[in-house]
Structure 1
Amino acid sequence: MARQVQEALRPGQSVELLQELHILTREGGLNQDSRRKLKQVYHLFGFIEKILLQLESAGHANITLADHGAGKSYLGFIIYDLFFRQREAGTIYGIETRQELVEKSRELAQRLGFERMRFLPLTVQESAQSDELPAQIDVVTALHACDTATDDAIAFGLQKQARHMVLVPCCQAETAGFLRKHKALNLSRTPLAELWRHPLHTREMGSQLTNVLRCLYLESQGYSVTVTELVGWEHSLKNELILAEYTGQKKRSAAHRMHEIVQQFGLQELLAARYPLVAGSAPAPEMA
């Protein structure tokens, strides 16, 4: 292997895996495009590695990680190769509804000797109830989970009492649909509706509101939330990274804010559909 390739890779990293993921060429080369991809991979892994090291230092040797909406399990394979493979314990579960992708991932894991990777052809509802998964999951990830798939991952994480969630939302459309549905009524009711009167603004506002509500929902269920940019992962605006860590301190004020927001934007149907643990009567805000 060329010296520049060896210098670019982490020690012991699987060249075969990087070739399968098209980060390295079939000849093991590293062109300008693949160098950019490798840098992006390391950037994303950096966020997750900190969480895994934190869990390890706290005595959680047998770490469990569930990658929801795994697709080709790109993320899971990278995490396993760079972290789990060097350790004797810990398991990654790739959860994906498409059976053909699950089979391909199983074949690749077997070929690479990644023995503690499991791939399950399950929906979010099935995965929450499946006896093939442990009762509790340490880390839940969802990379570019389209539209409501991110909400599904959050619901799974809550059911599995996840200690951490790492979410990169993508292509939110559901909230924009509700905004369009009630646009005429809201335009007559509040000048704030001008913020989403035009179709492009409706889409952008829907995406923004979706992630704001998700963060508040997580806070209402006992998570500390950080929102940052996943810089360099792709050349698009779908670059938001939500990091949630369970603290056990449920914020009533977050649930109260959610009710206020859905009232202001006419999103009561969304609250009932996606955030059942705070739906119903609005909770009183916390005392100062």
Structure 2
Amino acid sequence: MKAPRAAGRSTPKPAAPDVAQQLELKPGQSIDLLKALHILTRDGKLNQDSRRKLKQVYHLYQFIEPLLTELAAQDHPVSLADHGAGKSYLGFILYDLFFKNLGRGHIYGIETRAPLVEASQQLAADLGFDRMSFLNMSVADSTRTDAVPERFDVVTALHACDTATDDAIAFGLEKRARAMVLVPCCQAEVAACLRQNKAMNLARTPLAELWRHPIHTREMGSQITNVLRCLYLESQGYQVTVTELVGWEHSMKNELILAKYTGQKKRAAAERLQQLLVEFGLDQSLQHRYRLD
């Protein structure tokens, strides 16, 4: 028989390391930060939506952390631009897990929604994350502003919608980024072009059957867009890896494009890019996006 619990004695709360272990947090992760980002509730719990967001960011961190470690060698102050930052989940967690203890480097969060930028600025100030800056502007505008450095080491774009991912690539090329980590979101530009030329393409090639139905048009538009992006990055001297971000049960926008600069521009990639633009009738509409040297 169990001994009766002493009157007035309550069960002690788990210590912070136990809570972190139960929640499967990474070592050194600030619980206060996760609460401030509303990933954790006030009593330190995760709901299903927050667990999905945290899993995505952690999985992305696994790809970014080795890049940062390599770049940080020999006291290099790593610079990172996070495009379409939103509430800056990724930027804050990168800072908390890597930049904070590194003692150098800077993260720039770029976002078009002013209230989110202001909230991120306040949170960074409250936490003492003094090497974080937040800019209220579009990805395209950030390429032309003097508010960011002339060069960046890493460019990230997590679920940047439609052509914002292309703008992030253009930003990375302009800033001579040593690595780009991209998770494309909704994509409409190529699908619109396919719809516009559908009748002509159906008469021209049997391949147009691949996007004759509206749902296929959307899917083909997304697929073609990411293939063109990968070929473009390869043509500009990047080694490209394409993989899953997380399991499909967590997000349908699941493609992760990891590009690392090698300086070896692939002529074959440039040629295939041009051939695909012509084959799908996109050469006139999208030539401005893929400027080949």
Fold conserved between structures, TM > 0.5? yes
The answer to whether the Cα contact below 8 Å between 1:94 and 1:118 also exists between their aligned partners in 2 is yes
Change (3 A) 1:186 1:258: same
Maintained 8 Å contact 1:228/1:241: yes
Compare CA radii of gyration and give the structure with the larger one: 2
Q: Which amino acid aligns with 1:224?
A: Q
Q: What runs of 5+ residues in structure 2 fail to find an aligned partner?
A: 1-12
Contact in 2 for aligned 1:68/1:95 (Cα 8 Å): yes
Q: What does the per-residue CA deviation read over 1:108-167, in whole Å, with 9 as the maximum and x for residues that have no partner?
A: 100111110000112233312222211110000000001000001000000000000000
Name the amino acid aligned to 1:213: L
CA contact (8 A) 1:13 1:82 kept: yes
- In structure 2, the CA distance between the partners of 1:199 and 1:35, relative to structure 1 (3 Å rule), is closer
Q: Where do 5+ consecutive residues of structure 1 fail to align?
A: 284-288
2:19 counterpart residue number: 5
SS in 2 for 1:261: helix
Provide Cα deviations, 1:141-199, integer angstroms capped at 9, x if missing partner: 00000100000100000000000000000011110000000000000001111111111
Deviations 1:33-88 (A, max 9, x none): 6555444332221111111112123x352000000111111111111111101111
Query: Residue in 1 aligned with 2:120?
Result: 105
Residue type of the alignment partner of 1:237: M
Matching residue within 64, 69, 74 for 1:48: 64
- Where do 1:82-101 residues align within 5 Å? 82-101=97-116
CA distance in structure 1 between the partners assigned to 2:242 and 2:154 by the alignment: 17
Work out whether residues 139 and 164 of structure 1, in 8 Å CA contact, stay in contact via their aligned partners in 2.
Answer: yes
For 1:96 and 1:15, how far apart are their aligned partners in 2?
25
Could you tell which deviates more after superposition, 224-233 or 108-117? 224-233
Name the CA distance, whole Å, in 1 between partners of 2:228 and 2:234.
Answer: 10
For the aligned residue pairs, the C-alpha RMSD in angstroms reads 1.8
Q: How does 1:1-288 map to 2 (within 5 A)?
A: 2-3=14-15, 4-7=18-21, 8-30=24-46, 34-57=50-73, 59=74, 61-232=76-247, 235-275=250-290, 277-278=291-292
How big is the shift at 1:255? 1.2
Give the CA deviation at 1:234: 6.5
Q: How far apart are residue 227 of structure 1 and its match? A: 0.4
Is this contact kept in 1: 2:57–2:89, CA < 8 A?
no
